[in-house]
Amino acid sequence: MMIDIHNHMLPGLDDGSPDCEHSLAMARIAVADGIRDVVCTPHWAPGAFENTRVPVLRALKEFQEKLCDNGIPLTVHPGAELRLDPDLIRKIGSGEILTLNDTGRFALIELTDMFLPRNLEVFFRNMLSRGITPVICHPERNHGLLRDPMPLFRWVEMGSLVQMTAASVTGRFGSEIRRFSFLLLEHGLAHVLGTDAHDPRMRTPVLSGGMKEVEGILGREAADSMVMETPRRIIGGERVIPGAPVPFVNGPAAASFSPKISRKIFSLFKTNLGI
C-alpha cells in the first residue's frame, strides 16, 4: 500500500503524460508495483507551466473518473511541483497554487539540477515560520549539492523534509547520483521516496526497486516509513519532524558507509514521528 507523493501522471499539463492513454498506462504500472495513492504534482513554473489550483483540480477530477471507469484501483490527490519564485509563499497562502494534497502544510519544492539560488536558507526558514514545510525534491540530482551537501544538511536541521527519487537509488540516473543518494540516506538527509514519474516507459511510477535499496541500507522498517508512513502523514497534513541529520565529520567526500549509524538515524526519526 505504497504512496507516491511526486508524480507527473495528470495528462496534458506539463512535460509528463501527454494524454489520458499514457496516464492510464502509468496508473496500471503504479498499481502493479503496489502503489495505491498518488499525489499528482504537475510543474508550476511561471512562464512555462501555469498549473494553478483550478486547472489542476479539474484535471484531477476527470482523471479519477477515468481510473474508476477503467477499474484501476488508484486514488489520486492534488498537488504541484513548485519552482522557486519570490512570490511563492504568498501564492501558497492565498491558495492560488497547491500544496501536497491541498492541506497547506507541505510544499513540494523543485531544485534545478544545475545550481542553487542564493538565500535558500532564508527562504525555507520563512516558509517554516508560516507553518509550511518545504519538501525538497530530488536534491541528489543537483550538481551544487553533489559538490557540497552542507546546505541540504542545514535545511533539514531547520525542519525541511527531503524527497529522494526512487530511480536515483537504483542507478537510473547514473552511478555518481546513486552513490550520492546512499550518502544522503546514511546521513539522515532523505525522508520519503517518490517516483517523479513522467511516462510509462522510461521514467515510470515504480517505488519498489528504490524501497529495496533503502532497505539494504537502513533496514525494512525505515524503507516502509519512506514509502508508507511518512507520505501518509504528509497527505494527511500531519506533523512530521525529521530526526537530526548526522554531520559530515571529515567532509562529505570522506564520509563512509555505516549501517549502524544509519539505523540509529531512523530510530530517532521514528521517535519524532511518534510511531
- Can you give the CATH number for the domain in which 222 is found? 3.20.20.140
pLDDT tens by residue, 218-229 = 999 999 999 999
Three cell numbers written together for 265: 538515524
Largest CA distance in the chain: 56
- pLDDT score at 116: 87
DSSP assignment, residue 97? S
Alpha-carbon distance of 215 to 226, in angstroms, equals 10
Cell of 113: 539540477
**SS3 letters for 111-145?**
CCCCCCCCCHHHHHHHHHHCCCEEEEECHHHCHHH
How many domains are there within the chain?
1
pLDDT (mean) for 204-233: 97
- Determine the Cα–Cα distance for residues 175 and 97; give it in Å rounded to an integer: 35
What 3-state DSSP class applies to 253? helix
* 159-171 confidence digits (pLDDT tens): 999 999 999 999 9
- Domain range holding 242? 2-273
Query: What is the residue whose three cell numbers read 520519503?
Result: 192
249 pLDDT tier (thresholds 50, 70, 90):
confident
What are residue 165's DSSP bridge partners? 194
